[in-house]
């Protein structure tokens, strides 16, 4: 049996794990990364990247299919566009492969040893990996757990046959005529909207009384408007009970029952940390509500065992995992670090997109803070109008006493690209005057952020 004794063992090659390994390697630490599947984890291979590729393709098709919108631009089509889903999937897979190979190259450049296979711990510092060349035992000084998460399941609707997770939805060989989406959160709506644009009849089933419950009603309203305008049926306060021949049976909040036509049933009720199958129970680390318990340095209850990403709790976001992995590698190298972000921005790639960073108006009010809440509509933004995307707005929540920005939200086309500016403003402790005093480029969507700050100060120019 081959034995390795590195300074650092990273378990999981997703965005948290591979970033931790690369940074550790850059710092001169002897590092081994164990990954049973493709490098890049869920996000790169079967999540963020392929879903955004599919969303882009769907939007391109929808744009061509909307002859009314094109006619207003002076563009006409002599025949409706066609969809070759197999080619769409090949293109999507090509994007994923390119990024996957890029991660492998970065790890190699950082001198990280990659061991491909499933690792199982027998104690906190002993991991045996089943590789194609036989077992490899790794006994490191430090362990970074980055095992990620898996799609949550419904006991009455186990995955298989017509019941699929987001993973299978991103690799379908044929477009479903009808698709039932269980769960009105961001994963369900992102994919549901994409498949509606591709041509499927889509029905959303959500147990709560509103869509996207993590976002406030003002942000969700434009998305709900799009769903209604494009024939997406939404059942709120409804629960899926079982799959029937060619359909999905649901019960409504009023007690009534209904069967929805569904060639495929997409279950998107959330994700669960991957805590089973790799020996967590043998490591002696404490848990907190199903997640691995950590402190502000991502340290577990076991000395020199660290945990990051989806494994340690919400938000289950790639950029949170990557930031934690980067930090932990530096801590192991002797740097003084702690994970204490002011805000972690989140983006929902719906139609239109939603960005939220920091406190919402209701959250600020719940903390007893007196606030200034200002918004600026994209209908008054030149760049938005020149791209026929005047729906939505930017909103700033700031303290009334000192104008410190507490939260920034936006809904509209392409607003995901504003998320970095929003997060930076919060992290740097910006006040309204800082944003208002920064000259923003014209014509860009970012001008709406500038105008929102001006409006909060009482003198917006373009509204």
| Nearest Cα to Cα of residue 226 among 312, 139, 351 | 351
Residue 68 CA from chain centroid, whole number: 32
* Nearest Cα to Cα of residue 384 among 457, 445, 432: 445
Strands 142-145 vs 8-11: parallel, antiparallel or unpaired:
parallel
Q: How is the chain split among helix, strand and coil, in percent rounded to 5?
A: 35, 25, 40
The H-or-E segment that residue 265 falls in is strand 264-267
Cα 205 from Cα 319, distance rounded (Å): 29
Report how far residue 219's alpha carbon sits from residue 407's, in angstroms, rounded to the nearest whole number. Answer: 13
Go through the chain and tell me how many residues it has: 463
Collapse the DSSP code of 412 into the 3-class scheme (helix H, G, I; strand E, B; otherwise coil) and give the result: strand
Report yes or no: 232 and 204 within 8 Å, Cβ to Cβ.
yes
What span, in angstroms and rounded, lies between the C-alpha atoms of 115 and 109? 16
HSE-CB at 123 with a 13 A cutoff on CA atoms is: 6
Asked if 389 contacts 461 with a C-beta cutoff of 8 angstroms, the reply is: no
Contact 53, 31 (CB under 8 A): no
Query: Could you tell me which residues are beta bridge partners of residue 328?
Result: none
Catalytic residue (choose from 414, 442, 450, 462): 442
Q: Is 442 a catalytic residue?
A: yes
Q: How far is CA 65 from CA 80, 178, 232, in A?
A: 6, 19, 17
Q: What is the DSSP string of 104-169?
A: HHHHHHTTPEEEESEEEEEETTEEEEEETTEEEEE--SEEEE---EEE--BTTB-SBTTEE-HHHH
Q: Alpha helices of 274-357 — where are they, by DSSP H? A: 318-332
How many other C-beta atoms lie within 10 A of the C-beta of residue 286?
Answer: 10
Edge-to-edge order in the sheet of strand 239-244: 239-244, 247-251, 257-261
CA 461/CA 444 separation, integer angstroms: 16
Q: Report d(CA 417, CA 292) in Å as an integer.
A: 32
Question: Hey, which residues are catalytic here?
Answer: 442
């Amino acid at each position: 049996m081959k034995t390795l004794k590195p300074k650092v063992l990273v378990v999981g090659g997703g965005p948290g794990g591979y970033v931790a390994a690369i940074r550790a390697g850059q710092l001169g630490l002897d590092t081994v990364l164990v990954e049973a599947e493709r490098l890049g984890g869920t996000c790169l291979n079967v999540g963020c990247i392929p879903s955004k590729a599919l969303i882009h393709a769907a939007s391109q098709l929808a744009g061509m299919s909307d002859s009314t919108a094109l006619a207003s631009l002076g563009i006409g089509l002599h025949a409706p566009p066609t969809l070759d889903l197999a080619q769409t999937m090949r293109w999507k897979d090509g994007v994923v492969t390119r990024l996957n190979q890029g991660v492998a190259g970065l790890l190699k450049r950082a001198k990280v040893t990659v061991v491909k296979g499933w690792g199982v711990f027998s104690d906190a510092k002993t991991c045996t990996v089943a590789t194609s060349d036989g077992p490899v035992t790794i006994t490191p000084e430090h362990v970074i757990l980055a095992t990620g998460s898996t799609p949550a399941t419904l006991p009455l609707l186990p995955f298989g046959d017509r019941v699929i997770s987001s993973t299978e939805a991103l690799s379908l060989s044929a477009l479903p005529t009808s698709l039932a989406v269980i769960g009105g959160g961001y994963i369900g709506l992102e994919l549901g909207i994409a498949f509606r644009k591709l041509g499927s009849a889509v029905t959303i089933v959500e147990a709560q009384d509103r869509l996207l419950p993590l976002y406030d009603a003002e942000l969700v309203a434009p998305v709900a408007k799009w769903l209604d305008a494009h024939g997406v049926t939404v059942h709120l306060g409804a629960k899926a009970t079982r799959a029937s021949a060619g359909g999905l049976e649901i019960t409504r909040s009023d007690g009534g029952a209904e069967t929805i036509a569904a060639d495929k049933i997409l279950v998107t009720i959330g994700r669960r940390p991957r805590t089973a199958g790799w020996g967590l129970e043998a490591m002696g680390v404490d848990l907190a509500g199903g997640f691995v318990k950590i402190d502000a340095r991502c340290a577990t209850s076991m000395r020199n065992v660290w945990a990051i990403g989806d494994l340690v709790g919400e938000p289950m976001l790639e950029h949170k995992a990557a930031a934690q992995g980067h930090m932990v590698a530096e801590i192991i190298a002797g740097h003084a670090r702690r994970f204490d972000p002011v805000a972690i921005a989140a983006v929902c790639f719906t139609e239109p997109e939603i960005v939220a960073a920091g406190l919402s108006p209701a959250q600020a009010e719940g903390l007893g803070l007196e606030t200034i809440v200002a918004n600026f509509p994209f209908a008054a933004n030149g760049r938005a109008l020149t791209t026929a995307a005047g729906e939505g707005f930017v909103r700033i929540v700031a303290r009334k006493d000192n104008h410190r920005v507490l939260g920034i939200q936006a809904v509209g086309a392409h607003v995901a690209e504003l998320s970095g500016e929003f997060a930076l403003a919060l992290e740097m402790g910006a006040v309204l005057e800082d944003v208002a005093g920064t000259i923003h480029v014209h014509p860009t969507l970012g001008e709406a952020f500038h105008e929102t700050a001006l409006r909060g100060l009482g003198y917006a120019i373009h509204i």
